[in-house]
Amino acid sequence: MRQYYKTNGFELYEGSCLDVLKTLNENSVDLIFADPPYFLSNGGFTCKAGKMAPVNKGSWDESHGFDSDYKFTLAWLSACRRVLKDNGTIWISGTLHNIYQIGFALEKLQYAILNEVTWFKPNAPPNLSCRYFAHSHETLLWARKEKRSRHKFNYTVMKNWDVSKDRINHPGKQMRSVWSIPLTPKEEKIGSGHPTQKPIELLKRIIAASSNEGDVVLDPFNGSGTTGIVSMMLGRNYIGIDKRPEFLQMTQERYNNFLRTR
């Protein structure tokens, strides 16, 4: 592992999240967002730009069998729990391919699951096989480190959130656990893009809901760096970890663009 980039309140590390998390101080992080491998890249097909395309995001997304996948899930969630503050929380995104395994691991490690949020994608691609319902959502699990701790939740901020593009929630009312947010728009992508890049609106809700200005936000699977960019937008500090230097370079470019345009 190595420190890839560091500036005021923004740090990127190259290496396995298991190796990097060992070097971070215990009880030092306020909020974690994790977009781990979904274990989808195993020879299947999907719809991309209206055409059939192979699901091949990279070797990092390949399944190595249930036992091996679960061992990895348990390991990174345990490492995250060590660095999370006692009143800190973690958000994890997933689909049917991995989210039940993650939920079981959270329970085993004695996290307290707070919410299951459904991210509904109104512009999701169709299912080309016509043998299943079209996959149009992802699941977000929100959990706190300790069952008896008092976690952060900015209730009023969420109640009055600008939900102009959300067909389900309405300003002035309690935000529900179903969020209607379109897929990542083209204008948010940089360079060749990242195969699992999340939309800014999704991370804005998560970070605004469960952290405060000056808090430390960590993403153990940094990817394209959306978590880091939104953390900067909202006045948080950020730590991002990724094995792939090209993804870290992508994140650094996005950060530099953010500094130039703010």
Distance CA 149, CA 83 (A): 15
Confidence of residue 53 (pLDDT cuts 50, 70, 90): low
Res 49: pLDDT: 54
Closest among 83, 73, 68 to 31, alpha carbons compared: 83
The pLDDT > 70 percentage for the chain reads: 89
CATH code, domain carrying 142: 3.40.50.150
Res 175: pLDDT: 97
Confidence of residue 31 (pLDDT cuts 50, 70, 90): very high
| Domain of residue 49, residue span | 2-261
Residues 18-28, mean pLDDT to the nearest whole number: 98
**Mean pLDDT value across the chain:** 91
AA letter at 157: V
More confident residue, 48 or 41: 48
Res 61: pLDDT: 56
In this structure, the dihedral spanned by the alpha carbons of residues 242, 245, 248 and 252, taken in order and rounded to 10 degrees, is 160
Number of domains in the chain: 1
Residue whose pair of structure tokens reads 């999907």 in the numeric block? 46
Angle between helices 99-108 and 66-83 (to 10 degrees): 50
50 pLDDT more than 60: no
Residues comprising the chain, all counted: 262
β-strand partners of 201: none
Residues 135-143, mean pLDDT to the nearest whole number: 97
Res 191: pLDDT: 66
pLDDT digits (tens, 9 = 90+) for 159-192: 999 988 798 999 999 999 999 999 999 889 876 6
214 pLDDT more than 60: yes
Distance CA 137, CA 208 (A): 21
Res 183: pLDDT: 93
pLDDT digits (tens, 9 = 90+) for 61-87: 566 678 999 999 999 999 999 999 999
Cβ contact 216:29 at 8 Å = yes
Mean pLDDT lowest among 110-119, 138-147, 193-202: 193-202
Confidence of residue 193 (pLDDT cuts 50, 70, 90): confident
Cβ neighbours, 10 Å, residue 156? 8
